Structure 1
Amino acid sequence: MADPARNSLPLPDYDHLPIGGLQSRIRSLGADEVEELLAYERSHADRRPATEVLGSRLEQLRSGAEPSSGDPGAVRPEQGRGRTGSPVTPATSPQPSSPPPHGTPDQRGKPKGDRT
């Protein structure tokens, strides 16, 4: 059953945000919004790293810090359209080789075959 409080949070999809992205995403929020997230976090998952980040930001805002520009709904870095897959290609992989025989660690292995 979905929690109705989740739908009204200042950050969309808050429950699925990684802790690393939380600090930058809350910079655009005001003190009331950060308080709301902190209360939600404490009553649900109560993740210590998340409560520390939210609590620290709340203290900054109460000490006179201003919310910075940004969009809390912006595409998250973990959902970006960067390169996917392995950067390794046949052109960048090393020549295959066998491990050295036992008892002679200074002897180089022999190539496994022709790579052309």
Structure 2
Amino acid sequence: MADPTRSTLPLPDYDHLPIGGLESRVRSLSAGEVEELLAYERAHADRLPVTELLATRLEQLESGAEPTSGDPGALRPESGARRAGSPVSPATSPEPFSPPPHGTPDQRGKPKGDRS
């Protein structure tokens, strides 16, 4: 099979998909499309977990499994809304706490002999 280009891959933005999200997306692809992704992966990043996932799915399809419903171009959860929360700034940071037992350059620790 010829080396597919990034723009012709059956999954949009394939190079940037996390491995966890890839498994559900390849379920909607045909055997030919999975072969295309596998060829692309082997020619480029050749990530073992991804090649194993694609090879396993290809075996399933060749053994009679059918592609399941799904939209490979659907909105990806990882590209959705940004995380909410408070921004980190000096105003939102906690007050400093006491120095570690060994001290700091401007505040020396206590010698062990003074402890009872």
TM-score when normalising by structure 2: 0.69
Structure 2 equivalent of residue 68 of structure 1? 68
Segments of structure 2 that go 5 or more residues without pairing to the other structure are: 87-96, 102-116
> Runs (4+) of structure 1 moved beyond 6 Å?
none
Does residue 16 of the first structure (1) align with residue 16 of the second (2)?
yes
Per-residue deviation, residues 58-109 of structure 1 (Å, max 9, x unmatched): 01100111000110011111112375235xxxxxxxxxx87xx9xxxxxxxx
Larger Rg: 2
Identity %: 76
Per-residue deviation, residues 4-47 of structure 1 (Å, max 9, x unmatched): 71000000010111111110011100000000000000000000
Equivalents in 1 of 2:34, 2:17: separation in Å?
15
Segments of structure 1 that go 5 or more residues without pairing to the other structure are: 87-96, 102-116
Structure 2 equivalent of residue 56 of structure 1? 56
Number of residue pairs matched? 101
Q: Which moved more, 1:77-86 or 1:63-72?
A: 77-86
Equivalents in 1 of 2:16, 2:78: separation in Å?
11
Equivalents in 1 of 2:81, 2:28: separation in Å?
23
Equivalents in 2 of 1:5, 1:45: separation in Å?
13
Structure 2 equivalent of residue 25 of structure 1? 25
Equivalents in 1 of 2:67, 2:84: separation in Å?
33
TM-score when normalising by structure 1: 0.69
Partner SS, residue 72 of structure 1: coil
